[in-house]
Amino acid sequence: AVGAALDRAFADPAVQAVAITGGNGLFTGGADIREFGQPAAQRKPTLHELIARIDAAPKPVIAAINGISMGGGTEISLACQYRVAAAQARIGLPEVKIGIIPGAGGTQRLTRAAGGQYLALALEMIVSGEPQPATRLKEAGVVDRVIDGDFLAGVARFAREIAGRTHHPRLADRTIALEDADGFFARARADVNKRFPRLTARGRAVDAIEAAVRRPFAEGLQFEYDTFMALLETTESHALRHAFFAERTATHIADLPKSVAPRKIERVAVIGAGTMGCGIALAFLGAGFAVALIETSAEALQRGLATITGVLDGQVGKGRIDAATRDTTLARLTPSLSLPQIGNADLIIEAVFEELAVKRSVFEALDRFARPGAILATNTSTLDVDAIAAFTRRPADVLGLHFFSPAHVMRLLEVVRGKATAPEVLATAMGLAKKIGKTAVVSRVCDGFIGNRMLEQYLRQAMFLVDEGAAPEAIDAAIEEFGFAMGPFRMSDLAGNDVGWLIRKRRYAESPSIAYSRVADRICEAGRFGQKTGKGWYDYPKGERRGVHSPEAAAIIAAWRVECGAAPRAIAAREIVERLVYALVNEGARILEEGIAQRASDIDVIYLTGYGFPAFRGGPMFHADSVGLAGVVQAMNGFAALAHGDAGFWKPAPLLQQLASQGATFNRP
Ligand code: NAD
């Protein structure tokens, strides 16, 4: 449509200048990334053809950027002879976020538009993928004018001003004066490597910008295009695109018709003002809900209030919210010691101690006092949601809302669907998640749900690796090099080693057939609970947050190896990574088979948003797909044969075995 309109405008002698604009606060969102590599991307006119026509236009073309401009849209605007923007407009080239760089001149023209003086700004925009406000780009000379007030009238005024000019600037004609280009790019590369380790596209973006500075336009353009095409085929780019779609797909529930209307939720009650209750209350307060916070004792309630106020004060301190917002937020919070107070709540979330008897007393009370139609949710991590629902006479209104700590920060929310959960209760939860800025993934009921059930296998392997000779530092280093935000031992020290200890004690009693290394118990028996006690797998001298090697922990480990009769051997980083990650994959496959997760990509979303799995690897299931499932199975057979192998666990899940033998993948392309 743009192409045809340009034809008409160029042909009409009455037209002296042309402006391109968008609607609804959007200039353009950029390419449809589903089309990458597909025939649809070749539909005429292609982005490249359109840009070439604008670049060589017989009349000046003005990009009238009315709002958000992203990717290909920004590249079109840069090919225009002029750019004017609404005051609230934001302009970006977010391509690196999906593992590529702009491929239609974006790096070459933005760099030229910014010139030597503002080169750092152009570089930051391209390398971070974050949009910049039009006002800032006006200072840098990328935008010619910011228009306050009536936008289209302002555009028309600008068009009349420039229409009579004999010369219209073309960014392609500009050269960049940069003193000490060598120094500039060396610093840029060092910075990018530090901020975005292991992300190829970010570094390649610097190469493209350097080409813009050092080479003639046509050569730079070709370099950019070749780089773009090569990046399209990287695992990083496939993985990041997978992650992007996986999050959207996770909101679809196969047997939940769109016609199911969610219930209306305005007032929320949270039971329990501990770690999770406070975070959950903050998440809802931040999204504008009225929240009642219920505790059993005045001290616990006071402590909870102090936590919530502290977090909000911290946000004021960091400039994220202003003092007035903090005050109105706190004004929506009603602390209370009376459970019957929940009578007017539309949604009640329980976050009390993880004991079935306590949950029972709470849910029996909720059943008595909640209004009919209220949704009753539990934040339990390990208990049976169906059993909890059965404590009420309204199990259809009950579901699990499994938040992650800290609940006001972590994006992931597992929505746990019980046997009896009503469709509209599920629909309501999915809609709510979006309102409070969470990424929701549906799980059926099982011990640990999707995320923690898989994590248990990962942690079990981590402990076996210690028994077999790997130091916790070596295991953390290997998996962090793979790209995890934090290795299992640093993570346990942060979360508190006593938490896992409690869960294991329950497992020893309930499932004596599961094999566990006792090394973590020995660490706990020595009072090494992690950061909170100043010592865990690492030592934390003087309250430091980054642990250092602990001779005491090493001695405990050495003694345990003797006790359990393991003969320590040297273990390569590759084995460490494969055992940890394939443990996730095999358990993930079982979770899929059992129908606990709806689809492999849901599992990937959980690991990407809740467990620090490296985004550029697309999640555990996608990673297994990219390695090739036959290779995964082969490695697993090798692990089963190890002396200390836990062969039963490494027997590939039937689904994994079947897909591997068919040459298929978990995630359908
Ligand atoms: P916590 O011990 O910090 O807080 C529990 C709070 O509940 C305490 O303040 C306690 O006074 C209060 N409480 C106990 N009985 C109550 C009752 N009958 N009525 C009102 N309040 C009562 O525990 P937490 O870490 O916040 O965990 C709460 C729940 O969230 C548990 O089910 C836990 O499994 C789950 N969970 C915890 C995490 C985590 O990382 N901590 C993550 C996800 C889920």
Q: How far apart are CA 418 and CA 376, in angstroms?
A: 12
Best residue for ligand 1 mutational test, from 271, 276, 293, 378 (most atoms within 8 Å of Cβ): 276
Q: How far apart are CA 293 and CA 302, in angstroms?
A: 11
Say what the pLDDT of residue 542 is.
85
Say what the pLDDT of residue 237 is.
96
To the nearest whole percent, how much of the chain has pLDDT over 70?
98
Question: Is 437 in contact with 578 (CB distance < 8 Å)?
Answer: no
Residue 394: helix, strand or coil by DSSP? coil
- The Å distance, Cα 350 to ligand 1 centre, comes to 8
Helix axes 654-662, 573-593, angle to 10 degrees: 100
Say what the pLDDT of residue 24 is.
85
- The Å distance, Cα 475 to ligand 1 centre, comes to 31
- The Å distance, Cα 275 to ligand 1 centre, comes to 7
Q: How far apart are CA 165 and CA 151, in angstroms?
A: 22
Residue 294: helix, strand or coil by DSSP? strand
Q: Which residue in 95, 224, 456, 578 is the catalytic one?
A: 95
- From the alpha carbon of 361, which atom of ligand 1 is closest? 18
Q: How far apart are CA 366 and CA 376, in angstroms?
A: 8
Considering the chain, what is the average pLDDT of its residues? 95
- The Å distance, Cα 360 to ligand 1 centre, comes to 14
Residue nearest to atom 12 of ligand 1 (CA): 272
Say what the pLDDT of residue 544 is.
83
Residue 413: helix, strand or coil by DSSP? strand
- Residues 589-618 have a mean pLDDT of 97
Q: How far apart are CA 386 and CA 447, in angstroms?
A: 11
- The Å distance, Cα 562 to ligand 1 centre, comes to 38
To the nearest whole percent, how much of the chain has pLDDT over 90?
90
Q: How far apart are CA 126 and CA 202, in angstroms?
A: 8
Residue nearest to atom 8 of ligand 1 (CA): 274
| Ramachandran assignment for 353, one of left (phi > 0), alpha (psi -120 to 50 degrees), beta (any other) | beta
Burial of 234 (C-beta count, 10 Å sphere; 0-12/13-18/19+)? middle
Which position has the token pair 């970006």? 92
Residue nearest to atom 15 of ligand 1 (CA): 352
- The Å distance, Cα 536 to ligand 1 centre, comes to 23
Residue/partner pairs of 495-498 with CB below 8 Å, 24 or more apart: 495/405, 495/530, 496/529, 496/530, 496/531, 496/532, 497/523, 497/524, 497/528, 497/529, 497/530, 497/536, 497/537, 498/524, 498/529, 498/530
144-184 pLDDT per residue, tens: 999 999 999 999 999 999 998 999 999 999 999 899 999 99
Catalytic residue check, 49: no
Strand partners, 268: 291, 347
Largest CA distance in the chain: 92
Q: Given a cut of 70, is residue 43 above it in pLDDT?
A: yes
Q: How far apart are CA 281 and CA 272, in angstroms?
A: 10
| Ligand 1 binding residues, C-beta < 6 A | 271-277, 294-296, 300, 351-354, 358, 362, 379-381, 403-405
Tokens standing for 479?
A: 């998996």
Residue/partner pairs of 254-260 with CB below 8 Å, 24 or more apart: 254/598, 255/423, 256/423, 256/426, 256/427, 257/423, 260/423, 260/424, 260/427
Say what the pLDDT of residue 586 is.
98
Residue nearest to atom 43 of ligand 1 (CA): 404
- The Å distance, Cα 278 to ligand 1 centre, comes to 9
Question: Is 640 in contact with 647 (CB distance < 8 Å)?
Answer: yes
Q: How far apart are CA 256 and CA 247, in angstroms?
A: 17
Q: Which residue in 35, 75, 364, 468 is the catalytic one?
A: 75
Say what the pLDDT of residue 543 is.
77
- Residues 312-335 have a mean pLDDT of 97
Residue nearest to atom 16 of ligand 1 (CA): 352
Give the Å distances, CA to CA, from 364 to 339, 359, 367, 449.
11, 8, 5, 24
As a residue count, the chain comes to: 669
Quick one: DSSP state of residue 518? Answer: S
370-400 pLDDT per residue, tens: 999 999 999 999 999 999 999 999 999 999 9
Catalytic residue check, 236: no
- From the alpha carbon of 495, which atom of ligand 1 is closest? 40
3-class SS string, 443-477: EECCCCHHHHHHHHHHHHHHHHHHHHCCCHHHHHH
Quick one: DSSP state of residue 23? Answer: B
Of 100, 98, 96, 124, the C-alpha closest to 110 is 124
pLDDT confidence band for 37 (50 / 70 / 90) = low
- From the alpha carbon of 303, which atom of ligand 1 is closest? 9
- From the alpha carbon of 362, which atom of ligand 1 is closest? 18
Residue nearest to atom 9 of ligand 1 (CA): 274
- The Å distance, Cα 271 to ligand 1 centre, comes to 8
- The Å distance, Cα 272 to ligand 1 centre, comes to 6
Residue nearest to atom 39 of ligand 1 (CA): 405
Q: How far apart are CA 526 and CA 556, in angstroms?
A: 9
pTM of this structure: 0.92
Residue nearest to atom 4 of ligand 1 (CA): 274
Q: How far apart are CA 479 and CA 491, in angstroms?
A: 12
Q: What is the dihedral of CA 230, 232, 237, 239, to 10 degrees?
A: -120
- From the alpha carbon of 352, which atom of ligand 1 is closest? 7
Of 184, 237, 233, the C-alpha closest to 213 is 184
Q: How many CB atoms lie within 10 A of CB 584?
A: 24
Residue nearest to atom 14 of ligand 1 (CA): 352
- From the alpha carbon of 381, which atom of ligand 1 is closest? 34
Q: Are strands 412-417 and 398-403 parallel, antiparallel or unpaired?
A: antiparallel
Residue nearest to atom 25 of ligand 1 (CA): 275
- From the alpha carbon of 294, which atom of ligand 1 is closest? 20
- The Å distance, Cα 402 to ligand 1 centre, comes to 12
Residue nearest to atom 1 of ligand 1 (CA): 274
Q: Looking at per-residue confidence, does 177 or 601 come out higher?
A: 601
Q: Given a cut of 70, is residue 669 above it in pLDDT?
A: no
Best residue for ligand 1 mutational test, from 359, 381, 531 (most atoms within 8 Å of Cβ): 381
Q: Given a cut of 80, is residue 38 above it in pLDDT?
A: no
Edge-to-edge order in the sheet of strand 375-378: 333-336, 290-294, 267-271, 347-350, 375-378, 398-403, 412-417, 439-444
- From the alpha carbon of 297, which atom of ligand 1 is closest? 11
pLDDT confidence band for 251 (50 / 70 / 90) = very high
Q: Looking at per-residue confidence, does 31 or 64 come out higher?
A: 64
Q: How far apart are CA 639 and CA 631, in angstroms?
A: 13
Say what the pLDDT of residue 414 is.
98
Q: For 483-599, where are the alpha helices, taking DSSP H only?
A: 488-495, 497-510, 519-525, 551-564, 573-593
- The Å distance, Cα 492 to ligand 1 centre, comes to 19
Question: Is 298 in contact with 350 (CB distance < 8 Å)?
Answer: no
Best residue for ligand 1 mutational test, from 353, 376, 401, 497 (most atoms within 8 Å of Cβ): 353
Helix axes 449-468, 488-495, angle to 10 degrees: 120
Best residue for ligand 1 mutational test, from 336, 348, 352 (most atoms within 8 Å of Cβ): 352
Of 669, 664, 587, the C-alpha closest to 629 is 664
520-559 pLDDT per residue, tens: 999 999 999 999 999 999 999 987 889 999 999 999 999 9
Q: Given a cut of 90, is residue 478 above it in pLDDT?
A: yes
565-575 pLDDT per residue, tens: 988 999 999 99
Give the Å distances, CA to CA, from 663 to 34, 298, 578, 626.
24, 61, 20, 12
| Residues 6 or more apart whose Cβ sits within 8 Å of residue 199 | 96, 99, 236, 616
Give the phi and the psi of residue 257 in degrees, each rounded to 5.
-65, 145
- Residues 500-522 have a mean pLDDT of 92
